[in-house]
Copies of this chain bind each other. A is one copy, B any other.
Amino acid sequence: MTLPKPGSSERTQLNRMRERAVDDRTALYEVLDSNILCHIALSIDSEPVILPYGYTRDGDRLLIHGSSGARFMRLMAEGAPVCISVTELTAIVVARSTFNSSMNYLSAVIFGRAVEIAGEAKARALEIVSDGFLPGRSSEVRASTKKELAATIVLSVPLDEASLKIREHGVEDEPEDIGTGVWAGLIPLTRVAQDPIADDDESRQLPVPESVRAFIAKPKA
């Protein structure tokens, strides 16, 4: 199967940023796999609406789930055009001027239309979503009930039209600002998962499960 390269569509080149557009599907997938929060926009009556959702990448698609009672989910399931953004800030770039100050970041933007996953594939797709959040969690818990499956919409968004922009370098000051006695540098940002908090007496007596340990070792947000 041949996939278009990320960044190859006109829409994904909308923004005139000086930052590097990364034409590399492996790098796109790495960014998608190290995050779990995306922002999804729809155009409703020609006006934009955004909501945050969790997601999991599964091969060449994103999986998103939500309540079948949510209008936003139903509009996506009906095939409305969506734009999805996944952004990770990695540093504050402190320059010698406010103009040259910036942020280092990883930014994936995906355009497409969702397809609803129904029937036999739905329960498996939800397990993949769950394991994307907490590796292996689906095998630690019971299967979803029919009622739970009915209350959930699962959507697949193809990663055909996607762009990745990365800023990961240091300060870019004006030559005349250097030597003026002003500090410049980076403040790296990281996300940290703290020790898990068991929710009840039963859980306090059980070992912390593998899925939770795996998440803490490599937290996503």
Interface residues in chain A, defined as those with a beta carbon under 8 Å from any beta carbon in chain B: 11, 14-17, 36-37, 39-43, 46-52, 54, 67, 69-72, 81-85, 87, 89, 92, 94-99, 101, 103, 105, 107, 109, 111, 126-127, 129-130, 133-134, 137-138, 140-142, 144-145, 148, 151-152, 170-171, 173, 177-200, 202-203, 206-209, 211-212, 215-216, 219, 221
Chain B residues with CB under 8 Å of A200's CB are: 171, 178, 184
Q: How many copies does the complex hold?
A: 2
Q: Contacts A52-B105, A198-B183, A199-B185: A144 and B98 contacting too (C-beta < 8 A)?
A: yes
Residues of B within 8 A of A141 (CB): 95-98, 182
Instruction: Give me the 5 closest cross-chain CB pairs, A-B, nearest first.
Output: A41-B41, A41-B48, A43-B43, A39-B39, A98-B130
- A54 to chain B: which residues have CB within 8 Å? 103
User: Are A133 and B92 closer than 8 Å at their CB atoms?
Assistant: yes
4 extra interface residue pairs, beta carbon distance < 8 Å, beyond A43-B47, A94-B211, A98-B141: A14-B51, A47-B83, A94-B134, A187-B193
Query: With a CB–CB cut-off of 8 A, which chain B residues contact A126?
Result: 98
Shortest A193–chain B CB gap in Å is: 5
Q: Given known contacts A48-B43, A189-B221, is B138 in contact with A69 (CB within 8 Å)?
A: no
Q: Which of B48, B183, B189, B199 contacts A42 (CB 8 A)?
A: B48
Main secondary structure of the interface of A (DSSP, over half): mixed
In the complex with contacts A137-B98, A193-B189, A184-B171 CB distance below 8 A: no
Name the B residues within 8 Å of A11 (CB-CB).
49
Taken together as a complex, chains A and B put the C-alpha atoms of A46 and B82 apart, in Å, by: 11
Q: Which residues of chain B are within 8 angstroms of A199 by Cβ–Cβ distance?
A: 170-171, 173, 184-186
- Say yes or no: B52 contacts A87, CB within 8 Å: yes
Q: From residue A196, how far is it (CB to closest CB) to chain B in Å?
A: 5
CA distance A206 to B180 in the complex (A): 11
- 22 pairs of residues in contact across A and B, judged by CB atoms under 8 Å: A41-B49, A43-B47, A54-B103, A89-B221, A92-B133, A95-B141, A97-B142, A97-B148, A98-B126, A98-B137, A173-B199, A178-B202, A183-B206, A183-B207, A183-B212, A184-B200, A186-B196, A187-B196, A188-B193, A189-B194, A190-B191, A190-B192
